[in-house]
Structure 1
Amino acid sequence: MNFAYTLVYVSDVGASLAFFDRAFGLKTRFLHESGAYGEVETGGAGAKLAFVDHATARDSVQHDYVAADASDKPLGMEIGFAVDDVQAAYDRAVAAGARALAAPVTKPWGQTVAYVRCPDGTLVELCTAMG
């Protein structure tokens, strides 16, 4: 089995793609003409980061779910990006419209981490790479 992709369910796929470009420098790889599905370039081989609108997601899953942008609290999952300069990445994301949750801090194991919440509700960790 191979990990293929992460799908983030959002209200506006185009807005999320534009935000991820501004905040994290992840360019749009693909946006379906319907606007219901899109992907960003992640720089990684294989696995994709994609966005799906709520109507399409609910139709696919055939159940309702907690929409991240409708929840006061972040959902119990995150997307993590390894970066060389966590402070610069954090500042860029906040300037682009992310909500600051946890400023950069160096953990006891030596990794620097910070957390932001995107306008679509997605929780993002910005961190230095481990080992």
Structure 2
Amino acid sequence: MKFGYTIVYVPDVEASLSFFEQAFGLPRRFLHESGAYGEVETGATTLAFAHHELASTNFEGGHVAAWESTKPLGVELGLVTDNVESAHARALAAGAREVAEPRTKPWGHVVSYVRCPDGTLVELCSPMDG
């Protein structure tokens, strides 16, 4: 078994792809002609976005849309960067909302949290040593 991909269900796939390009510098890999599914380039594991309508075809009982929740969902995407402060500022400038400003943890790890316009919670963090 290996971890293959994450799909985030969003109201507008094109807008989420554009935001991740602008805010985090992750280039678009693919957008289906229907606009219902797209991916950004992240390395070995795929980060994809799919329209909420696609989710409704997969889950008979429905699902919780992240952007409709006033609080972040209990899942985050972690993006590793050498400069959390700069990445945090770039995300805010692109339209993210601040959840927690950059902080250094007691073990030296720097982290911050932002919420994307589509409701996705993103942790920006420095690489873990060791």
CA deviation vs aligned residue, 1:34-73 (integer Å, no higher than 9, x gap): 000000001x22x100000000011022221110001100
1:52 to 27, 33, 50: 50
For the pair 1:80 / 2:78, whether they are aligned, the reply is yes
Which residue of 2 is the match for residue 5 of structure 1? 5
Which residue of 2 is the match for residue 106 of structure 1? 104
SS at match of 1:14: helix
Stretches of structure 2 lacking an aligned partner (at least 5 in a row)? none
TM-score for the superposition, normalised by structure 1? 0.96
**Take 1:33 and 1:56, find their aligned partners in 2: how far apart are those partners?**
14
Q: Where do 4+ consecutive residues of structure 1 move more than 2 Å?
A: none
**C-alpha displacement at 1:14, in angstroms?**
0.2
**Take 2:108 and 2:59, find their aligned partners in 1: how far apart are those partners?**
39
**Take 1:106 and 1:114, find their aligned partners in 2: how far apart are those partners?**
9
Tell which deviates more after alignment, 80-89 or 53-62.
Answer: 53-62
**Take 1:109 and 1:84, find their aligned partners in 2: how far apart are those partners?**
16
**Take 1:21 and 1:121, find their aligned partners in 2: how far apart are those partners?**
16
Aligned CA-pair RMSD? 0.7
**C-alpha displacement at 1:17, in angstroms?**
0.2
SS at match of 1:35: coil
Alignment size in residue pairs: 129
**Take 1:17 and 1:65, find their aligned partners in 2: how far apart are those partners?**
21
TM-score for the superposition, normalised by structure 2? 0.97
Stretches of structure 1 lacking an aligned partner (at least 5 in a row)? none
